[in-house]
Amino acid sequence: EAAVTQSPRNKVTVTGGNVTLSCRQTNSHNYMYWYRQDTGHGLRLIHYSYGAGNLQIGDVPDGYKATRTTQEDFFLLLELASPSQTSLYFCASTNANTEVFFGKGTRLTVV
Amino acid sequence: KTQVEQSPQSLVVRQGENCVLQCNYSVTPDNHLRWFKQDTGKGLVSLTVLVHENDKTSNGRYSATLDKDAKHSTLHITATLLDDTATYICVVGDRGSALGRLHFGAGTQLIVIP
């Protein structure tokens, strides 16, 4: 069964803290994405990747790093978290056609 | 500039009624369009995908249309249930490959009341 698993599901950290969000897909998809979702906005693309070792910058990359270690695993790193990064984060994977799957989301709160 | 506009922003209907959600976009090229359902604080679940000019799809009580000339899509929900309460998001893919982007609308919040 196609799946995208995010961890943790909830995270609270302090301003200036270091956070890593994890995403694993078992869909044999090459492409993986990190989005953030905030009230009043559609999902906004932070970073994406089309294969292990590849990284592409999205539309709202400031304050975020990402790393794709394998085809299955895509990580989002916040090295100096700020309150403006409080959001709901989604990971997604797609193939070269129209198939796309989303994770259940990670709610991050920066206090 | 927002490339995917959804209307209405929110909608309240009584259980059993039908409703129609609209999506207008300016994304070019428009490879495909997908409708997602998102329960509050949860992930996105795909309802249907439309690919071709004048595509029509049906998935149970959900049906959708796509007019690529007008860059417009509709999602129809018939005989609404309380569990249909959710945000419905229109997403346009600008090509079928990894280098393509998914462009998201802000969603229509549907509330179904008894």
Mean pLDDT of A25-32: 91
Q: Contacts of residue B89 in chain A, CB cutoff 8 Å?
A: 42-43
Token pair in block for residue B81: 């249930």
Q: Do B104 and A43 touch (CB under 8 A)?
A: yes
B20 pLDDT above the threshold of 90: yes
- Quick one: how far is CA B7 from the chain centroid? 10
Is residue B97 within 8 angstroms of chain A, CB to CB? yes
Record: contact A104-B42, CB cut-off 8 A? yes
Report residue A31 as tokens: 């492409």
The model's pLDDT over B69-81, given as tens digits with 9 standing for 90+, comes to: 999 999 999 999 9
Contact assessment for residue A27 and residue A95, using Cβ atoms and an 8 Å cutoff: yes
Beta strands at B10-14 and A4-7: parallel, antiparallel or unpaired: unpaired
Cβ–Cβ contacts within 10 Å for residue A13, how many? 16
User: Looking at beta carbons, which residues of chain B come within 8 Å of A101?
Assistant: 46
Chain B neighbors of A100, CB-CB under 8 A? 34, 46, 102
Would you say how long chain A is, in residues?
111
Interface of B with A in 49-88 (CB under 8 A): 49, 51
Buried b (16+ CB within 10 A) or exposed e, A15-44: eeeebebebbbebebbbbbbbbbeeeebbe
**CB B89 to CB A100 under 8 A?**
no
Query: Measured between CB atoms, does B34 come within 8 Å of chain A?
Result: yes
Task: State pLDDT tens for residues B23-57.
Answer: 999 999 888 899 999 998 788 999 999 988 899 99
Looking at the complex, report in whole angstroms how far the Cα of residue A72 sits from the nearest Cα belonging to chain B. 15
What digits encode the pLDDT tens for the residues A34-73?
Answer: 999 998 788 899 999 989 999 999 989 999 999 999 999 9
B93 vs A40, A41, A98: nearest CB: A98
